[in-house]
Amino acid sequence: MFVAELYEMCDLLEAEPNSVQCSLTSRVLDAVDSVLTDLNSCEAATVRDALCKALYSRLFTYLVTKINDSIKVSVIFTIY
């Protein structure tokens, strides 16, 4: 991963670059013993794609909610 892109992404996500890089390039094999192993390029690409999909999904939901809130019409009921 390019260092400039990593720092730019971490700045936007308000995350630590070392932890993001570690999350994208390695995984824990055993939760009890915490054995850390590197991912191969195919596995790392899968993790990257999953992160992109999750970010896109959250951004899309956020934008749709904001748009819906901005065009929402207030309905005032009058009882006669």
What's the confidence (pLDDT) of residue 75?
67
| Residue 48: predicted pLDDT | 92
DSSP letters of 45-61?
HHHHHHHHHHHHHHHHH
pLDDT tens sequence across 7-64? 999 999 999 999 999 999 999 887 778 888 999 999 999 999 999 999 999 999 999 9
pLDDT at residue 74 in the model: 67
Domain of residue 10, residue span: 3-71
Say what the pLDDT of residue 65 is: 94
What is the count of structural domains for the chain?
1
pLDDT (average), residues 54-78 = 88
- CATH number of the domain residue 31 falls in: 1.20.120.720
Which pTM value belongs to this model? 0.72
Tokens found for residue 36 = 């850390």
